[in-house]
C-alpha cells in the first residue's frame, strides 16, 4: 500500500490532501464558534419575545430560537451530510487568537451531491475585510458577499468547502461578525433552486448570463439579453450587428451591455485562420463610457482594445474564433449612439 506524507501545516487547513480517506481533515475544528450573546439578531428577536411582542415562529426559529435545536455545531470543521433537509451553520467568534481560516468541509454520501448555500450579506463578515472562498474539486472560487443567495454544488460523492480567510498579506483572522450558511444533499442532477446543464451539472442562478460558460452545452448563457435590447450570444452566424439601446436614436441612461460572438458552439478548442471583424459605423459616447473588446470568452478572455468618445467609422479585426464585446456605461446624462456590423471569416477549425 502506498503511504503519502504531508507537512503538518497542511493538516486541518480546510483543503483535502489525502484523496483516499480525507484523513488530514476529518475531525478537525473549524476555527469558529457561535455565541448567541454576540448575535444582534438573536438578542433583538428574543427581546421582542420577552416583551410579549408577537414574532412569527419561522422568524424566531431562524434568528432567535434555541441554536442547539436549529443549527449544527459550528466548531466542527468536517460535516458528513446525510439529510436532504437544510442544515444551518452560524458563527460569530474565533476559537483562538491565531486562526488562519475558518472552514467547513461538507462531505456528500456516495451517489449524492452536497449543496452549499451562501446568503447575501449586508457587510463583510470579517472586520478586517476577509475573503470567502468555496472549494469544490480542484476549483477555488471567491464568493461575492454582496450577492446571493449563491449555490455551490460538489461533484458526486465528493465535498464542497466554505472557507473564510484574512486579506492577502495578513496571517490571521481578526474579529468576525455574525454570519451563517446552509447546506444539504440531493440526488445527482436534481439541481433544485439552480440551473441544470444538459449533462446534469448544476449552476447557481447568480452565474447565469454573466459571460462565463459554466455549462458545456452553453445553456447558462444562450438566450440571455445583452443589456442593449438584443441577444447576447451569437453563434455560427457569418455576420450580424450590435448596437446601443434604442438605436438609431440616442440613449440616455446607465447600464452595461455584453455581446459574445463565436464561430462554434463550444468555448473550448483551438482555431486556425479564423478572424472576426467589427465594423463600427456609428460611435458616439462620453469619455465616461468605454467599449472593451476581448479576444476569447469567459474567464480566459484577453483584452484586445479599449475605445471611448466620438469616432469616425473604423474597423477592428481579431484573429480569433471567439470575441467578447462589453459596453461599460455609467453616465446617466450623456447620449450614446453605437452601431457595428460583425463579419466572421472561417478557413479551418481544429476541435
pLDDT in tens, 137-185: 888 888 887 777 899 999 999 999 999 998 888 889 988 888 889 999 9
Residue 222 counted as domain residue: no
Please identify, among 177, 196, 215, the residue that sits at the C-terminal boundary of a domain: 196
Q: Please list the residues that pair with 176 across neighbouring strands.
A: 126
Name the band, by pLDDT with cuts 50, 70 and 90, for residue 52. confident
Residue 218 counted as domain residue: no
Residue 228 counted as domain residue: no
148 and 269 co-located in one domain:
no
- Grid coordinates representing 243 are 448596437
191 and 291 co-located in one domain:
no
272 and 182 co-located in one domain:
no
Q: According to the model, what pLDDT value does residue 61 have?
A: 60
178 and 84 co-located in one domain:
yes
Q: According to the model, what pLDDT value does residue 271 have?
A: 52
- H or E element in which residue 350 lies: strand 348-350
Residue 318 counted as domain residue: yes
Average pLDDT over residues 83-112: 91
| Per-residue pLDDT at 331 exceeds 70 | no
Residue 236's Cβ-count burial label (10 Å; 0-12, 13-18, 19+) is exposed
Average pLDDT, the chain: 85
183 and 244 co-located in one domain:
no
- H or E element in which residue 277 lies: strand 275-284
d(CA 158, CA 109): 8
Q: According to the model, what pLDDT value does residue 267 have?
A: 60
247 and 343 co-located in one domain:
yes
99 and 144 co-located in one domain:
yes
Residue 60 counted as domain residue: no
238 and 322 co-located in one domain:
yes
| Per-residue pLDDT at 68 exceeds 50 | no
Q: According to the model, what pLDDT value does residue 60 have?
A: 59
Q: According to the model, what pLDDT value does residue 159 have?
A: 94
The residues near 351 (Cβ < 8 Å, ≥ 6 apart) are 264, 266, 269
Average pLDDT over residues 203-209: 90
Average pLDDT over residues 58-65: 59
115 and 183 co-located in one domain:
yes
- Pick 228 or 331 by higher pLDDT: 228
14 and 141 co-located in one domain:
yes
Average pLDDT over residues 291-301: 91
| Per-residue pLDDT at 4 exceeds 70 | no
Q: According to the model, what pLDDT value does residue 121 have?
A: 79
Please identify, among 196, 223, 245, the residue that sits at the C-terminal boundary of a domain: 196
d(CA 285, CA 291): 9
Number of domains in the chain: 2
Please identify, among 170, 196, 222, the residue that sits at the C-terminal boundary of a domain: 196
Residue 50 counted as domain residue: no
Output the pTM of the full model.
Answer: 0.78
d(CA 30, CA 162): 10
Q: According to the model, what pLDDT value does residue 273 have?
A: 58
150 and 89 co-located in one domain:
yes
Q: According to the model, what pLDDT value does residue 226 have?
A: 93
Residue 201 counted as domain residue: no
Q: According to the model, what pLDDT value does residue 300 have?
A: 86
Residue 206 counted as domain residue: no
Q: How far apart are the first and last CA of the chain?
A: 40
114 and 171 co-located in one domain:
yes
What CATH number is given to the structural domain containing 275?
2.60.120.290
Is residue 232 within 8 Å of 260, Cβ to Cβ?
A: yes
Q: According to the model, what pLDDT value does residue 168 have?
A: 81
Cβ neighbours of 175 (radius 10 Å)? 10
Average pLDDT over residues 185-192: 92
Q: According to the model, what pLDDT value does residue 69 have?
A: 38
* Domain range enclosing 338: 233-350
Amino acid at each position: 500500500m502506498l503511504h503519502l506524507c504531508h507537512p503538518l501545516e497542511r493538516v486541518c487547513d480546510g483543503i483535502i490532501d489525502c484523496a483516499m480517506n480525507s484523513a488530514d481533515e476529518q475531525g478537525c475544528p473549524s476555527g469558529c464558534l457561535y455565541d448567541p450573546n454576540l448575535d444582534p439578531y438573536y438578542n433583538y428577536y428574543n427581546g421582542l419575545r420577552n416583551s410579549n411582542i408577537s414574532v412569527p415562529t419561522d422568524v424566531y426559529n431562524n434568528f432567535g430560537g434555541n441554536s442547539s435545536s436549529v443549527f449544527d455545531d459550528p466548531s466542527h470543521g468536517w460535516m458528513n451530510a446525510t439529510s436532504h433537509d437544510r442544515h444551518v451553520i452560524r458563527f460569530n467568534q474565533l476559537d483562538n487568537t491565531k486562526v488562519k481560516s475558518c472552514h467547513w468541509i461538507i462531505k456528500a454520501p456516495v451517489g449524492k451531491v452536497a449543496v452549499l448555500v451562501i446568503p447575501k450579506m449586508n457587510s463583510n463578515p470579517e472586520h478586517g475585510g476577509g475573503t470567502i472562498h468555496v472549494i469544490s474539486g480542484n476549483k477555488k472560487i471567491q464568493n461575492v458577499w454582496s450577492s446571493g443567495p449563491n449555490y455551490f454544488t460538489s461533484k458526486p460523492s465528493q465535498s464542497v468547502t466554505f472557507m473564510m480567510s484574512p486579506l492577502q498579506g495578513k496571517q490571521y483572522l481578526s474579529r468576525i461578525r455574525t454570519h451563517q450558511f446552509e447546506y444539504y444533499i440531493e440526488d445527482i442532477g436534481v439541481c433544485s433552486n439552480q440551473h441544470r446543464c444538459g449533462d446534469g451539472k448544476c449552476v447557481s442562478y447568480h452565474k447565469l448570463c454573466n459571460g462565463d460558460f459554466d455549462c458545456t452545452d452553453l445553456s447558462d448563457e444562450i438566450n440571455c439579453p445583452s443589456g442593449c435590447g438584443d441577444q447576447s450570444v451569437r453563434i455560427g452566424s457569418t455576420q450580424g450587428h450590435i448596437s446601443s439601446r434604442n438605436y438609431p436614436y440616442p440613449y440616455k441612461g446607465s447600464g452595461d451591455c455584453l455581446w459574445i460572438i463565436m464561430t462554434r458552439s463550444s468555448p473550448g478548442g483551438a482555431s486556425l485562420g479564423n478572424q472576426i471583424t467589427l465594423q463600427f459605423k456609428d460611435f458616439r459616447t462620453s469619455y465616461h463610457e468605454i467599449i472593451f473588446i476581448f479576444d476569447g470568452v469567459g474567464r480566459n478572455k484577453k483584452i484586445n482594445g479599449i475605445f471611448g468618445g466620438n469616432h469616425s467609422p473604423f474597423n477592428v479585426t481579431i484573429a480569433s474564433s471567439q470575441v467578447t464585446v462589453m459596453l461599460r456605461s455609467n453616465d446617466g446624462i450623456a447620449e450614446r449612439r453605437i452601431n457595428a456590423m460583425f463579419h466572421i471569416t472561417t478557413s479551418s477549425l481544429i476541435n
